[in-house]
Amino acid sequence: MPSSVSLFLAFFLGAVAQSANGYGGVQRLKLQKMPMVLDDMANDEFRSQAREQVSLHEAPVDVEGCGLGMTSERIQGGHPVPLINFLNSQYFTEVSLGTPKQYFNVVLDTGSSNFWVPSTSCNSIACYLHKKYDSTASSTFKKNGSEFEIYYDSGAISGIISQDVLSIGDLTINSQDFGEALVEPGLGWAFSKFDGILGLGFDTTSVNNIVPPFINMVERGLLDEPIFSFRVGSSEEDAGEAVFGGIDKGHYKGEIHYVPIRRSGHWEVGLDSVRFGDDVLELENTGAVIDTGYSLLGIPSDVAELINAQIGAQPSWTGQYTVECDTVPSLPDIAFTLGGREYSLTSEDYILRVQQQCISSFQSFDSEVEQFWVLGSVFLRKYFTVFDYGAGQIGFAIAAQA
């Protein structure tokens, strides 16, 4: 790692815009990724946190032991999967592939639909710095060999499809097709804390039409209910938890309010209006993508500029908008109206405190065809979510603090 500056990534894995079939069996999926460079990262405290995170990242996750006081009665028919939280910016979980098990840290990403990990045959720098899947070491590997390519802003991830046994939490999915990444260009991937991505999106938006793991869980009857839920934690100690096939009653307070999916094939609901302080922005034909693989709030650039100006945020040399930390308590709330209800965030929620800096989470993002905003973990730390595949809706409730 560089000594004075660490490249720190906020991945924008939502904003999925897929073109029609590509060429030669290769489909294109455009995913946006936004690097976030933070200075003053050489701080000792920070480094020791990062070290702890790395060792946690390497240890096999003990599902029973990481549930933050969860009890089996609270989860009805669900399969808990603990999250790992790197600086409230990258959330991932450990899964295994193959027999014997090979372990990987993957982002559980509702903003995309493909599952991939680095391959031992990959020569990119990013692959050297991450765990790699070795098909020759797995007795349950089945060759497929068709090519895939996923487009990101900073370059395409490409490789071949393989099949093996996937374990996630206490669930085992036999014959899961996934991508073995052979090329991972760019430093962005090199500095990520996670090895790969496990898309939780719909199969209709999956590159090469590979059936994603969650859809396989549903279709093969591994879950009591065709849902998964997320409580995104706020610290390394309280990293949060995903539950497949159920809801943990200890993960939220009050009632869950459900909003129908707006665009089929996407974890997106209608965004009726946005209130910032006393100003209300009424929106038409606009969605909110609920993206567990994105850390910030992705909003149209004209609105982002306006809000950042209003909170006095200035662009820093790193490209991030920062505010003076002593102004934070006086900044207004922002509220998103989803399904007729307001979901508000205070300035303490939407300003990220990283070391001495106070960073605005309002990030310019202009969707190409459909108009949508992206609500990432800044929103999800406050609101527990239920992704209800069966009924085509997303549920929201106030997240319980651990």
Ligand X SMILES: *[C@@H]1O[C@H](CO)[C@@H](O)[C@H](O)[C@H]1NC(C)=O
For ligand X, give the closer residue by CB, 144 or 154.
144
Q: Which residues between 313 and 352 bind ligand X (CB under 6 A)?
A: none
SS3 sequence, 308-343?
Answer: HHHCCCEECCCCCEEECHHHHHHCCCEEEEECCEEE
Q: What is the DSSP letter of 137?
A: G
Q: Which residues between 210 and 229 bind ligand X (CB under 6 A)?
A: 210
Cβ burial, residue 327 (10 Å; 0-12/13-18/19+): middle
180 touches ligand X (CB under 6 A): no
Euclidean distance between CA atoms 213 and 174, whole angstroms:
10
Residue from 93, 208, 322, 367 touching ligand X (CB under 6 A): that is: 208
Euclidean distance between CA atoms 84 and 398, whole angstroms:
21
Quick note: the x/- pattern for ligand X over 365-394, rule CB under 6 A, is ------------------------------
Residue from 38, 161, 378, 394 touching ligand X (CB under 6 A): that is: 161
For ligand X, give the closer residue by CB, 182 or 210.
210
Euclidean distance between CA atoms 6 and 188, whole angstroms:
11
Q: Which residues pair with 330 in a beta bridge?
A: none
Minimum distance between the CB of residue 149 and ligand X, rounded to whole angstroms? 14
Q: Which residues between 137 and 156 bind ligand X (CB under 6 A)?
A: 144, 146
Quick note: the x/- pattern for ligand X over 93-132, rule CB under 6 A, is ----------------------------------------
For ligand X, give the closer residue by CB, 161 or 243.
161
For ligand X, give the closer residue by CB, 203 or 333.
203
For ligand X, give the closer residue by CB, 146 or 264.
146
Q: Which residues pair with 387 in a beta bridge?
A: 228, 394
Minimum distance between the CB of residue 105 and ligand X, rounded to whole angstroms? 23
Peptide bond into 100 cis (omega under 30): yes
Minimum distance between the CB of residue 131 and ligand X, rounded to whole angstroms? 23
Beta strands 371-375 and 314-315, pairing class:
unpaired
Euclidean distance between CA atoms 336 and 356, whole angstroms:
29
For ligand X, give the closer residue by CB, 80 or 212.
212
Instruction: Write the Ramachandran bin of 285: left for phi over 0, alpha for psi from -120 to 50, otherwise beta.
Output: left
For ligand X (CB under 6 A), the number of binding residues is: 6
**Known catalytic residues?**
109, 291
Tokens 């991450």 locate to 130
177 touches ligand X (CB under 6 A): yes
CB 199 within 8 A of CB 294: no
Sequence-distant (6+) residues with CB within 8 A of 158 are 26, 147, 148, 149, 150, 181, 182, 183
174 touches ligand X (CB under 6 A): no
Q: Where on the chain is the footprint of ligand X (CB under 6 A)? A: 144, 146, 161, 177, 208, 210
